[in-house]
Amino acid sequence: MADAPLNRQILLVSRPEGEASVSNFKLVETPLAPLAEGQVRVRNHYLSLDPYMRGRMDDAKSYAPPQPLNEVMIGGTVGVVSESRNPKFAVGDSVVGMLGWQEYGTSDGTMLNQVDASRVPLSAYLGALGMPGVTAWYGLNGIIKPKTGETVVVSAASGAVGSVVGQLAKAAGCRAVGIAGGAEKCRYVVETLGFDACVDYKAGNLRADLKAAVPDGIDGYFENVGGEILNAVLARMNAFGRVAVCGMISGYDGKPLPLDAPRLILTQRLLLQGFIVYEHLDIWPQALKDLGERVATKKLLFRESIAEGLDKAPEALLGMLRGKNFGKQLVKLV
Amino acid sequence: MADAPLNRQILLVSRPEGEASVSNFKLVETPLAPLAEGQVRVRNHYLSLDPYMRGRMDDAKSYAPPQPLNEVMIGGTVGVVSESRNPKFAVGDSVVGMLGWQEYGTSDGTMLNQVDASRVPLSAYLGALGMPGVTAWYGLNGIIKPKTGETVVVSAASGAVGSVVGQLAKAAGCRAVGIAGGAEKCRYVVETLGFDACVDYKAGNLRADLKAAVPDGIDGYFENVGGEILNAVLARMNAFGRVAVCGMISGYDGKPLPLDAPRLILTQRLLLQGFIVYEHLDIWPQALKDLGERVATKKLLFRESIAEGLDKAPEALLGMLRGKNFGKQLVKLV
C-alpha cells in the first residue's frame, strides 16, 4: 500500500504582538485523507492575499472570528478540481473558493464556485472579478453613489480594490483621484488606469498634495487604509460627503491610529459606513456582470503582484501590509 | 418729538481662544428704527440657548457661516408681535423665529411662524415642539431607525434633544439608555422620563457603568457630546449599529477630542451620519405633528432651565456648554 500523498500547508501558530511577522506562521506537511462521499479536492493554483487577513490574525472583536491557531491560514483561492466525489464538480473544473494557504483543499462544495477560465485568466477571479472587484463595486455604487462631476478619492489606489474604484468612478463621470505609495504606483494609476490625479503619500506632503489634487473638495472617499490618510481626506470632504470604509490597514498592524477630527462628521454632515462585501451577496451577480463586461472589453484594467511558491505566502502578506505589492497580491502555486 | 425707544441687545464682540467666556459678548442699547413697509416687530419672551451656538462663535469651516462680530448674537426666539406693517402678522400674535439675543426683533416675516400658545406654553416651541424636538425625531427616525428590542443610547439625556430621543426610543419598543452628568439628572431621566437606565458620566466609571447598562450592546446612538463618551459608546456598538451625529459639544469648546478607534466603523460595519435638522425641512410637519400629540397627551415630558434677563444669556450659554443646565436652557425676557 502506497503512502498517502502529502499536502503542504501553512498554519498560523502564534498571534502578532504589534507587527505581524513570518514567525507567526509555520509550513507543515500533512497526509491527504481519502475523499469522503460528497467531497471534492482542489489543486490550488493561486492564493489571494488580502488586508483583512491581518485582522484575523488577532484575537480581537471583529466582524469575523479570529483565525484559529494551528490551523490552515484562511484565504481565497482559485484552482482546478483534481478529484471529486461530489456530483456538482468534475475533475478539471476551474473553481474559486476559500480553501486557504495549502496546495490541496478539500471541500464539501460549500462556497466553491465554478468559473470560466477560457476568456480571462484564472487569477482574475481573485481580483477584479472576485471579492476585491465586488468590494470596489459595492462601496462605490452602494455607499458613495457618485454623481457626475463629483470628486471621488480612493486610497491604496493601485491595489486590487482601489484600482477598480477609481476606474468605475471615472466611468461614472467623476474626477477620480488616487492615493498611493511611491511615484511608480502613482504614474501607473494616472497613465495606465486613467485616474485624473494621484497623490504619493510617501512624498512627504500628503495634505498639500491632496489639496492640490482636489480643487473642488472631495465628495466620495473609498477608505482602504485609515490613519493619517483618513485624517487628511476628511479635512477636505465637502458637505454631504460619503465615506465607504472598506479597510483600515494602517490600524491592522500595530497600534490603531485615531481619527483626529470627528467633529467634521457633524459640520460637513458626512456619512461614514463600514461594510463587508460578503454581507451583501444580493449585489454580487449584478456587480460581477458589470465587472465582467468591463474586463472583457478592456475598459477595466488590473495588475498583479505574484509571489512564487506556498512558502512565500507569509512574507508576501507582510509585504502587502506595508504596501510593497503593486496591484493584486497573489501567491502562485502551480 | 420723543426719543426713539431703546432696544437692548447682546453682540458677539470677540472670538474665543479655547474656552468661550462672557467677555466675548457685550450688552448694548440701540434705538429702535421705525418699521418699514412689510416689517414686523416682535417682543421676545424667551431666547433659546443651544450647543450649536458655540460653533458659530468660531471663525471655522462649518455648516453655517460664523456669527459675525459686533452683530446681535444669533438664536431662536419666541415672542409676541408688538407692531406690524406686514399683513401676515397681527399685534398679539405669538411667533417663533430666529431673532437673536435682543429684547425686540425686527423681521420681514421670513422664518417667522405663528404658533398656538393656548394649549402649550410658548417656551415649548423652543424645545420639544421646536428645533430640539425635531432634531431628536429626525436623528432617531431618519438615521437610527430603531427596531423593537434594540438598545438606543443618547448622551446629554436630560437635555432638550436627549430627553426626547430617549422617550421616543422607549415608545418604539427599545431599551433606552441615557448618559448624563450627575446623579440628579440620571434620576430624572429614569424616574420621570422612563428611560431603562442612565449612566452618570461624572461618576468616574463611564466605561464600566455603560457596559453594565447595555447588556445586549448598543444598536443606535444619538450623539450630542463627542469626546470620551463617543469613544466609550463606540466600543460597545453592535454590528450594523447606527450613530446619528447631532452634536459634538465637547469639541465645540477648546480642543477637539479624537475618535480613538475608527477601525470599529469597519469591524462592526457601523453607520455614522452627521445631520443638521434645518436641512430636512420636509420632515418637520410630520415630526411636529407627532411631537405635538405626544406633548399634548403628556406622553412626552420635558423640563426647562430658565435664566432670567437678557444680560444673563452669555453666562447661561457657557453654563450649558459645561452641562450646568437641567433640561432645555432658556433665557426669559418677559
Q: What is the pLDDT of residues A265-300, one digit of tens each?
A: 999 999 999 999 989 999 999 999 999 999 988 999
User: Residue A50 is placed in which grid cell?
Assistant: 488580502
Q: Does residue B298 fall inside a structural domain?
A: no
| Residue pair B259/A262 in contact by the 8 Å Cβ criterion | yes
Shared domain for B176 and B198, answered yes or no, is: yes
Q: Does residue A291 fall inside a structural domain?
A: no
Cβ within 8 Å, pair B63-A269: yes
Amino acid in position A285: P
- What's residue B216's pLDDT? 98
Shared domain for A83 and A26, answered yes or no, is: yes
Shared domain for A255 and A149, answered yes or no, is: yes
Query: Which residue among B63, B258, B268 sits closest to A258, beta carbon to beta carbon?
Result: B258
Shared domain for A47 and A139, answered yes or no, is: no
| Residue pair A189/A180 in contact by the 8 Å Cβ criterion | yes
Shared domain for B19 and B120, answered yes or no, is: yes
Each residue of B119-145: b (16+ CB within 10 Å) or e? ebebbbbbbbbbbbbbbbbbbbbebbe
Last residue of a domain, one of B242, B263, B279: B279
Residue to mutate among A264, A266, A272, A277, with most B CBs inside 10 A, is A266
Q: Does residue B296 fall inside a structural domain?
A: no
| Residue pair B300/B291 in contact by the 8 Å Cβ criterion | yes
Cβ within 8 Å, pair B269-A276: yes
In this structure, is the dihedral angle defined by the CA atoms of residues B256, B257, B260 and B265, taken in order, positive or negative? negative
Indicate which CATH number applies to the domain containing A261: 3.40.50.720
Query: Which residue among A248, A259, A266 sits closest to B258, beta carbon to beta carbon?
Result: A259
**First-to-last C-alpha distance (Å) of chain A:** 28
| DSSP H or E run through B304 | strand B304-308
B255 Cα to chain A: minimum distance (Å): 10
Shared domain for A208 and A101, answered yes or no, is: no
| DSSP H or E run through B55 | helix B52-57
User: Residue A326 is placed in which grid cell?
Assistant: 503593486
Mean predicted confidence (pLDDT) in A242-267 = 82
- Is the whole-model pTM more than 0.90? no
Give the lowest-confidence range in A20-24, A253-257, B197-201: A253-257
- What's residue A253's pLDDT? 56
Q: Does residue B79 fall inside a structural domain?
A: yes
Shared domain for B139 and B109, answered yes or no, is: no
Give the domain extent around B274. 131-279
- What's residue A2's pLDDT? 59
Shared domain for A220 and A247, answered yes or no, is: yes
Low-confidence ranges of chain B (pLDDT < 70): 1-2, 61-62, 250-256
- What's residue A51's pLDDT? 86
Q: Does residue A240 fall inside a structural domain?
A: yes
Contacts of A239 in chain B (CB under 8 A): 63
Residue A322: pLDDT band (50, 70, 90) is: confident
Cα distances from A34 to residues A38, A39, A111, A258, A329, in angstroms, run 12, 10, 21, 50, 32
Contacts of A274 in chain B (CB under 8 A): 265-271
Shared domain for B28 and B167, answered yes or no, is: no
Cβ within 8 Å, pair B271-A273: yes
Indicate which CATH number applies to the domain containing B93: 3.90.180.10
Q: Closest chain A residue to B60 measured between Cα atoms?
A: A267
Shared domain for B141 and B218, answered yes or no, is: yes
Q: Does residue B288 fall inside a structural domain?
A: no
pLDDT at residue A325 tops 50: yes
Q: What is the pLDDT of residues A179-191, one digit of tens each?
A: 999 999 999 999 9
Total domains, chain A: 2
pLDDT at residue A254 tops 70: no
Cβ within 8 Å, pair A262-B271: no
A189 by DSSP, 3-state: which? helix
pLDDT at residue A214 tops 80: yes
Shared domain for B146 and B228, answered yes or no, is: yes
Q: What is the pLDDT of residues A99-134, one digit of tens each?
A: 999 999 999 999 899 998 888 899 999 999 999 999
